[in-house]
Structure 1
């Protein structure tokens, strides 16, 4: 389970860092994704602000994967789960009736973005993660 938790932290951390760079430095290009224009209008300011948020969250997730500190790991996973859950709820209420396939893909991907960090967070509560210090170890 430790490997699973670390993998979730690393994948979501690096993923957020990549998205952050894209949103921050190429906001109009990011906004050209097929589903973002379902809720116009475009705002460069908002895109860059969200990119900064993703940068911060990506750094926290990545540092949790590197240090594997128990508290940092739990906080990072909880923070990402909170973000992912609100993101999923928003998209569930804004599916496009003429884009059924893309809408289904969004629901699946965004559901996994809630379930994977949540299961990793739950895994940190198991006895296997109870160590003498605050390090989860390798």
Structure 2
């Protein structure tokens, strides 16, 4: 039988992993989108052009999205380094607020890509939603002091 401290330790490890994976998602999207928006628009992911398939390029929109993702990524990194109840919940909620409508948009526009590409894109987006919600729920299991 596990003690409360062991249980809190498992939850904290899950939070670190989940928050770090969400931070990686945001930073892997945000850094290139903000620093090289035209390249990101045409290239992402790995030369497949998923973003370019959705409509015309607009530097301001792509760069601003990148800045927002970098900002959220910074909060997620902070939460992964110091996982606690309130910061973990806030960071995960921010990721969920970004990821859920992103997934809904792409589900509604799945015809913009070939079927296999759309399935891969939507599976990755759905995974981000599941991790976001899982981290949000798990963070609530910690006591307010993080124990």
Give the TM-score range, shorter chain.
Answer: 0.7 to 0.9
In 2, the alpha carbon distance for the partners of 1:15 and 1:110 equals: 10
Normalised TM-score (structure 1): 0.88
In 1, the alpha carbon distance for the partners of 2:84 and 2:131 equals: 19
Residue 68 of structure 1 pairs with residue 68 of structure 2: no
Which structure 2 residue ranges, 5 or more long, are not aligned? 1-10
Alpha-carbon distance, 1:29 to partner: 0.9
In 2, the alpha carbon distance for the partners of 1:64 and 1:98 equals: 35
Q: How do residues 1-138 of structure 1 correspond to structure 2 at under 5 angstroms?
A: 1-32=11-42, 33=44, 34-96=49-111, 99-126=114-141, 129-130=142-143, 133=145, 135-136=146-147
Normalised TM-score (structure 2): 0.83
Contact 1:38 1:96 survives alignment (8 Å) = no
Taking a change above 3 Å as real, the CA distance of residues 100 and 73 of structure 1, as seen in their structure-2 partners, is same
Structure 1 window deviating more from structure 2 (97-106 vs 54-63): it is: 97-106
Matched position secondary structure for 2:123: helix
Which structure 1 residue ranges, 5 or more long, are not aligned? none
In 1, the alpha carbon distance for the partners of 2:113 and 2:60 equals: 29
In angstroms, what is the RMSD of aligned CA positions? 1.5
In 1, the alpha carbon distance for the partners of 2:120 and 2:72 equals: 24
Matched position secondary structure for 2:136: helix
Q: Which runs of 4+ in 1 moved over 3 A?
A: none
Alpha-carbon distance, 1:109 to partner: 0.7
Spell out, residue by residue over 1:11-65, the C-alpha distance to the aligned partner (whole angstroms, 9 max, x if none): 2113322322101111111101321122211001111100110011000100011
Alpha-carbon distance, 1:130 to partner: 1.7
Count the aligned residue pairs: 132
